[in-house]
Structure 1
């Protein structure tokens, strides 16, 4: 993109307009939210396809549009296979399988959070409290999105990242104190449509590289580094062999839907029989979103030595710099808005689901009388989340370990590794002993963090390690543990 004094002005004006539109829908939704339940799952009967758009926007975040393409810019085709093909297919299949049972049971027990669903399903307040506590790991995902948004906006406005991050934190956490689920469906729908348009633009932005077909495209990558065109990349930290690229990503893709801002979205369906349209609309849009990671290959061809204006690019800066460099003013502004939409859509869902979990499942358990003031307490919780996430986000911007994605994956993967067995068993099995799933969740956490931090297995011997490997192994160990306890527990109860 050509340097222009007007660029910053145009972007600033669009961001102000975008913020005003969001605030309009926040106010509209907030006026209808009268209780903590309304804030959590809404009280407006949205069409199922609209809720599906909200899910699509929530499930594909700044990681999909900004961070993951950076990995692919560094490591090439092996990363595209992993993030653009294997993981999405596994996630879509898992989403279909899990959602129907979860939505049906969620409606029966009137659950508003993942922790409540688990606690009610297994009739255990201690298990509910346990999941409320480990939900705090999702703060790492908030940090990832904060960093991604900060990189995009600071590059676009040529502004100090510190003040951009501060502005994002104050604005988003501020309006989420009032909006909740009603507002979020409105804003997510707009964001999903913008993201779809921008995804098409970004996927098409590399058309010039295909003048000689796919083979010509690969030849250009190969000229930079032959490892970029290989299906595995031994020099990477994430795509060294097919275990990391395929097996681990299948396991992660299956389990990834067991996050509260994803699977609990189905609880917003007032009529569970409409789940098919909900799933169809979400998967259709997400298929396009996940293909955006191919932009990482375009960025590598644009910056073959990973520098811009003589300055080395960090991994998290690659895509924001590509956008500012590649597109015309009009297209660039639209893409920037799309990248911001990708971040905000998931950030809103995370703030909403995590604050509700802390308010109802942690504070509500420790101080039952506080439930009478839960609507107010939830606002205080959001303020505290804002402060913590700001501090951690700024730390990651200043001192990332390769990428903020590694920090986020370590926390998020640990959470859904612990959630996988209780959601699986609770959805498809009957008469599940609580000890079976509770033990499986603990084993998942111990296994994941143990393998990662104690450097167990050959995959954990580098300066930067792959949380996907430790989480995949932990999920399998947890599943085996849960099955043993389930079989043994049922046999004991029958004798």
Structure 2
């Protein structure tokens, strides 16, 4: 069997398997609740793999190794170490309280959760609209996946963009959350296998001494802090911002709402343990940035480092061409595993938190959520058609802004049991969003993680001051924290 025939047969098998899993999911999707968060009948291990795959995505598997290629150990520590600690801390702090309130209110989305916690429709609408910033991450994934398709098939990037969109939308439209969870489990297992293989296969470039090999590139390249980098140049930009912004990123709709899939609090330990173990393995994909640099590859476009490394490493032999098929399909799966989660959460959010509150139940919610899904995809393709350079930074501008806006309302909503005045949470959200955008878009701070961290600290300071000023006085009853 020729490599070309093998490539098309394996790809067709993967496509058929994904559609079969989506069909199984469609049979279990009967209403907007099932489409959004399932019917509370999924294993916590399955949900944990689904979440880890959603967190890793194209950023970890395709785009972020380019930052490691360009900036060295400091970028690896920023995404791999500080980011992983931020993820673990966020789930340990937030999972139980978020699930408890989500269960009592039967919330389907983050804005709905905000509404039930603070009892204010305007605040939930505000969060519904700013959650549309997640579309910047849709653009990142579409661009990353299209780059991979061009490495696998003889098509141009724009054609690849359409193919990716049509494939993902067709299977998500069928089954919603179940299609997302079942296909993510398959894709997550593929991602685990390929991550380990690529990590082991490329270790030869370290020559037995990783630090010495990195020092051969340059002292700054091998340093925990790279003074020559414009992104990861001090302790704050490498470690503090990596931890803070990743902690806040766990508040994204397609991530934190996975908690609502759980049957009960008894599943939390299994869920978090699975997520952390699988997610830690996924961070090893960042090593490809080192391998590409040590292999002597000159890659002018940072976003294409992974593709160029794989073609260099496996494209010169017959067995390598067979291996490339599995690797590229797995990397595509990494992107799709996040893209489908974002699409499900965005479509459910638009229907539940914008359309229904403003126009009532005159529309069929499940059908409308699928229409919204298509519209989000069309907008994503328009933005990805001529992508900006360094697509990773472009996505971070929007998604980190959402994280900075969400930190106080969600964190305080989980940890503070008493009533929190609207001006405290809304003020913190507005400060977080516009401080990040102001610092980053004006060029005052180039690294979006740093500008978002400054914004998060400002929002937290404002929120804590608000809590201090509104402490209840003894003997005076508090207003209700959520609607009865």
Partner of 2:251: 258
Pair 1:191–1:454, CA change in 2 (3 A): same
CA contact (8 A) 2:7 2:322 kept: no
How far off its partner does 1:44 sit? 5.4
Instruction: Provide the rounded CA distance (Å) in 2 between the counterparts of 1:20 and 1:275.
Output: 33
C-alpha separation between the residues in 2 aligned to 1:48 and 1:121? 25
Counterparts in 2 of 1:71 and 1:381: CA distance versus 1, 3 Å? same
Q: Given the alignment of the two structures, is residue 441 of structure 1 paired with residue 433 of structure 2, yes or no?
A: no
Structure 2 contact 404–433 (Cα < 8 Å) conserved: yes
Is 1:23 aligned to residue 4 of structure 2? no
Alignment match of 1:488 (pick from 462, 469, 473): 469
Q: Tell me the SS of whatever aligns to 2:361.
A: helix
Structure 2 counterpart of 1:345: 337
Given the alignment of the two structures, is residue 392 of structure 1 paired with residue 388 of structure 2, yes or no? no
Using the TM superposition, give the Cα deviation of residue 473 of structure 1 relative to its aligned residue in structure 2, in angstroms. 0.4
Q: Which residue in the other structure is 2:414 paired with?
A: 427
Select which of 82, 86, 95 maps to 2:91. Answer: 95
Give the superposed CA RMSD: 1.8
Q: Is the 8 A contact 1:84 1:294 kept in 2?
A: no
1:338-389 CA-partner distances (Å, limit 9, x unpaired): 211111111110000011111111111221133x411111111111111100
| SS of aligned partner of 1:316 | helix
Kept in 2: contact 1:8–1:157 (CA 8 A) = no
Aligned with residue 113 of structure 1, among 109, 112, 116: 109
User: Which range is displaced more, 335-344 or 10-19?
Assistant: 10-19
Tell me if 1:142 matches 2:123.
no
Q: 2:322 aligns with which of 327, 330, 339?
A: 330
User: For the residues of structure 1 that align with 2:338 and 2:272, how far apart are their CA atoms?
Assistant: 18
* Consecutive unaligned residues in structure 1, runs of 5 or more: 308-312
Matching residue within 397, 402, 420 for 1:410: 397
Distance 1:243 1:105, change over 3 A: same
- Which one of the candidate residues 293, 303, 319 is aligned to 1:300? 293
> Which residue number in structure 1 is paired with residue 480 of structure 2?
none
Taking a change above 3 Å as real, the CA distance of residues 203 and 325 of structure 1, as seen in their structure-2 partners, is: same
CA–CA separation in structure 2 for the residues paired with 1:218 and 1:158 = 39
The alignment status of 1:478 with 2:459, answered yes or no, reads yes
Quote the offset at 1:6 in angstroms: 4.3
Q: How does 1:54-203 map to 2 (within 5 A)?
A: 54-203=50-199
Deviations 1:265-315 (A, max 9, x none): 0100122221111111111100100122011100111234x14xxxxx311
Q: Distance in 2 between matches of 1:489 and 1:435?
A: 11
Q: CA deviation at 1:9?
A: 3.8
Within 5 Å, which residues of 2 pair with 1:239-388? Answer: 239-304=232-297, 306-307=298-299, 313-327=300-314, 328-370=320-362, 372-388=363-379
1:312-351 Cα shifts (integer Å, max 9, x gaps):
x311111011112213223322211221111111111000
Partner of 1:310: none
How many residues were matched structurally? 470
8 Å contact 1:8–1:158 — kept in the other structure?
A: no
CA contact (8 A) 2:171 2:179 kept: no
Aligned 8 A contact 1:417 1:441 in 2: yes
For residue 51 of structure 1, the aligned residue among 17, 37, 47 is 47
Shift of residue 128 of structure 1? 0.9
TM-score by length of 2: 0.93
Deviations, residues 445-480 of structure 1 (Å, cap 9, x unaligned): 111111112344xxx2xxxx2111110000010011
Distance 1:455 1:326 in 2: 37
Contact 2:205 2:295 in 1 (8 A): no
Contact 1:156 1:324 in 2 (8 A): no
- With 447-456 and 69-78 compared, the bigger mean Cα shift is at 447-456
Contact 1:61 1:346 (C-alpha < 8 Å) held by counterparts: yes
2:481 match: none
Question: What secondary structure does 1:231 align onto?
Answer: coil
Post-superposition offset of 1:491: 4.3
Q: Which moved more, 1:466-475 or 1:479-488?
A: 479-488
